Amino acid sequence: MEEKIDSNTTIHIEQHFKIIAGPGAGKTHWLTNHVKNVLQNSTRLGRTAKIACITYTNVASEEIRLRLGETVGEKVEIGTIHNFLYKYIVKPYGFLLKDEEGINLINLEKMDGHDEHIPNISIIKKWIDSELGRRRFYLLNDDRIERFLQCLKNFDWILEQDDCLNFQLRSEYKKTASNIRLPKLTQKQLLTYKKYYWNKGQIHHEDVLYLAYRILKEKPSVIKFLSYKFPYLFIDEFQDTNPIQTSIVRRLAAEKTIVGVIGDSTQSIYKFQGAKREDFEVFELNELKEYYMPDNRRSTNNIVKFLQNIRDDELVQKAKKNREGAKVTVLVGDQSKALQYVSKIDHKACVLARNNETVRQLKYSSTQELGDLWVRSRVIDSNFQRQMFIYYAVFAVELIEQKKYEEALSLMKKIFNYHANGSKITQKKKRSFAIQTIERLYSLRNQNYKKTLYEYHNVTLEEILERFDVESPSAKITKRGKKFFEFANQYTYQHMVQSLRLQEDESLIRTIHKAKGCEFNTVLVVLEKKNLRYLFEPKIDSIDDDTRILYVGFSRAKEKLYINIPYLADDKHSILSECEIIDI
């Protein structure tokens, strides 16, 4: 039987728990208090033991770190599951994984963090040549290459019934695969593709779960060390857990770790990445205690009532603020007009849409072509090192602007590998070179804005590197690579920054997925025609995430919620009966 609590309730700290609570219930608030409670009262946090506090995004980690304040110290590890598994399993125990010939699966000397999967054209060429046969080079034709790269990036690791991990192409890319006549790739071929990267010490984001899982499966004693190190493991947003993560969590709970999971299955929106909300719904552990939080502390009565009409399960939310607030407003008409309408009312309004494409249109209708500039530059320029070099240099400086110093340094460090005499650069030196480079580039930021990429790369970066005794990590851009030469002269540093911003998640116009866990006074949710049926006939428990995605979007609003729809048919008024409807 679930016990009712609110976001200030303290619970017993030595028992597994599961908390079910709707949007704005105060889950994050509660989790922060619970961590403080454990820090104060636990007798199991000796000198080296810590609390692991896992969130879904880096933004959420920052939020919790901020809320915990000074108390965090050395005793709490806050981060995403990928960061946690990388730091405590893959990095220290990666040496245990061997290939069929007994050679290390990962090049540990070169391994330095985990990154987004950016397909490397020269690796792909080698891989196609050896695994698929030369005649498959048609996949690299100009008009296919981008779609081919998209497919490669969208293979996920899936945990099968027999406890094996296999690759699976995300369902929304199946059509793309068939359009480019992607040959059926075997598990072995895909694994070989990954090994090329691992050999260079490059670990992709999605590989972290795979590698951690394999380490634990092949060397079960590692779980004992981990459990000893982390007597407490708390995971927020557990409705978007995936089976690999769930399995690792269960193993820890079977040792000495007290596990607490928090979530709301009506906010599960990551099925496309392999999330399984049923894992949260049926999650059970020995003597696990279940709780629920019925309040919504975020939104006004009108918004909570509107949300409740979409959510038809047994959790009935009550608005804790108990303030009527403005009616939910439906703006019928053009997207850009809706944007203008809401911006006039609140210039800090957050604008949310389901698809990247709509976000892109809303953001930069005039500079839309910039959105995929980075992808295009990678396709045109086969020199991967150079691509990464430019990318890291631009990105690191932008991160400094956002005060994300450590992230900036870790990117910049990647460009320093060898001294001019061929010897490896030590970690300490890398850090020192990276700091000096960032300082210099940051001071030149305004000047660099108008420079073409050609000038930025060949002159500015070279000049900076000359100050150190290092091997230049990147070949100069020359006329020989005609296409990239033209590209680098056409686009400026500023274009690349704008393109980066489009990918950024902190702007006020973003996808609903990127707003998870956040809240704003005013929210405008822009619905495309194809989303309308999930508004008019919501199916919160469907296997597909569509209704839940809209629900997450709507529930980010504290004070005012606007919904933009392109048109409104006469027979579709029922769910909107309490809303104000305005033709714009």
Q: Binding site membership: which residues? A: 21-28
CA–CA distances in Å: residue 406 to residues 402, 412, 473 = 11, 10, 22
State how far the Cα of 377 lies from the Cα of 63, in Å rounded to an integer. Answer: 34
CB of 311 to ligand ATP, least distance (A): 12
Q: Of these, 5, 7, 152, 497, which contacts ligand ATP (CB under 6 A)?
A: 7
State how far the Cα of 389 lies from the Cα of 370, in Å rounded to an integer. Answer: 19
Residue 8 near ligand ATP by CB under 6 A: yes
Residue 456 Ramachandran class (φ > 0 left, ψ -120 to 50 alpha, else beta): alpha
* Size of the residue set binding ligand ATP (CB under 6 A): 17
CB of 236 to ligand ATP, least distance (A): 7
**Binding annotation for ATP:** 21-28
Token pair 């009262």 in the structure block, residue: 41
Query: Please, which residues bridge with residue 114 across strands?
Result: 203
Beta strands 155-159 and 165-169, pairing class: antiparallel
Segment lying near ligand ATP (by CB under 6 A), choices 25-33, 80-88, 215-223, 475-483? 25-33
Residue 241 near ligand ATP by CB under 6 A: no
Segment lying near ligand ATP (by CB under 6 A), choices 24-32, 462-470, 479-487, 520-528? 24-32
Q: Which is nearer to ligand ATP, 27 or 510 (CB)?
A: 27
Q: Which is nearer to ligand ATP, 207 or 264 (CB)?
A: 264
Segment lying near ligand ATP (by CB under 6 A), choices 22-30, 335-343, 374-382, 398-406? 22-30
Q: Helix %, strand %, coil % for the chain, to 5?
A: 50, 15, 35
Q: Of these, 156, 555, 560, 563, which contacts ligand ATP (CB under 6 A)?
A: 555
Helices (H), 330-471: 335-345, 356-363, 373-380, 384-401, 405-413, 427-443, 445-448, 453-455, 462-465
CB of 322 to ligand ATP, least distance (A): 14
The set of residues, in sequence order, having a beta carbon less than 8 Å from that of 157 and lying 6+ positions away, is 165, 166, 167, 168, 206, 207, 209, 210, 244, 274
CB of 24 to ligand ATP, least distance (A): 4
Q: Which is nearer to ligand ATP, 67 or 539 (CB)?
A: 67
Segment lying near ligand ATP (by CB under 6 A), choices 23-31, 196-204, 484-492, 568-576? 23-31
Residue 319 near ligand ATP by CB under 6 A: no
Segment lying near ligand ATP (by CB under 6 A), choices 20-28, 37-45, 99-107, 183-191? 20-28
Q: Which is nearer to ligand ATP, 223 or 552 (CB)?
A: 552
Residue 133 Ramachandran class (φ > 0 left, ψ -120 to 50 alpha, else beta): left
Segment lying near ligand ATP (by CB under 6 A), choices 16-24, 342-350, 405-413, 428-436? 16-24
Residue 243-282 contact track with ligand ATP, rule CB under 6 A, x = bound: ---------------------x--x---------------
**At 324, is the secondary structure helix, strand, or coil?**
coil
Name the residue with the smallest CB distance to ligand ATP.
Answer: 26
CA–CA distances in Å: residue 527 to residues 5, 270, 443, 538, 568 = 35, 19, 42, 14, 12
Residue 29 near ligand ATP by CB under 6 A: yes
Q: Which is nearer to ligand ATP, 32 or 492 (CB)?
A: 32
Burial per residue of 172-193, b for 16 or more beta-carbon CB atoms within 10 angstroms, e otherwise: ebeebbeebebeebeeebbbeb
Q: Of these, 13, 16, 18, 28, which contacts ligand ATP (CB under 6 A)?
A: 28
State how far the Cα of 13 lies from the Cα of 254, in Å rounded to an integer. Answer: 17
CB of 442 to ligand ATP, least distance (A): 33
Residue 452 half-sphere exposure toward CB, CA atoms < 13 A: 12
CB of 298 to ligand ATP, least distance (A): 4
Cα torsion angle, 334, 336, 337, 339, sign: positive
Residue 436-475 contact track with ligand ATP, rule CB under 6 A, x = bound: ----------------------------------------
Q: Of these, 91, 117, 297, 510, which contacts ligand ATP (CB under 6 A)?
A: 297
State how far the Cα of 441 lies from the Cα of 527, in Å rounded to an integer. Answer: 41
Segment lying near ligand ATP (by CB under 6 A), choices 18-26, 144-152, 193-201, 386-394? 18-26
CB of 252 to ligand ATP, least distance (A): 23
Segment lying near ligand ATP (by CB under 6 A), choices 19-27, 73-81, 391-399, 455-463? 19-27
State how far the Cα of 551 lies from the Cα of 303, in Å rounded to an integer. Answer: 11
Residue 298 near ligand ATP by CB under 6 A: yes
* Paired tokens of 336: 């850009």
* Paired tokens of 391: 């990318």
Contact 204, 115 (CB under 8 A): yes
Q: Which is nearer to ligand ATP, 66 or 459 (CB)?
A: 66
CB of 245 to ligand ATP, least distance (A): 18
State how far the Cα of 408 lies from the Cα of 392, in Å rounded to an integer. Answer: 9
CB of 31 to ligand ATP, least distance (A): 8
Which of the residues 69 through 98 are near ligand ATP (CB under 6 A)?
none
Residue 23 near ligand ATP by CB under 6 A: yes
CB of 234 to ligand ATP, least distance (A): 13
Beta strands 295-296 and 155-159, pairing class: unpaired
DSSP per residue, 30-82: HHHHHHHHHHHH-S---SS--EEEEESSHHHHHHHHHHHGGG-TTTEEEEEHH
Q: What is the CA radius of gyration of the chain?
A: 25
What is the residue type of 283?
F
Residue 26 near ligand ATP by CB under 6 A: yes
DSSP per residue, 387-423: HHHHHHHHHHHHHHHTT-HHHHHHHHHTT--BBTTSP
Residues lying near ligand ATP in the complex (CB under 6 A)? 7-8, 21, 23-29, 264, 267, 297-298, 517, 519, 555
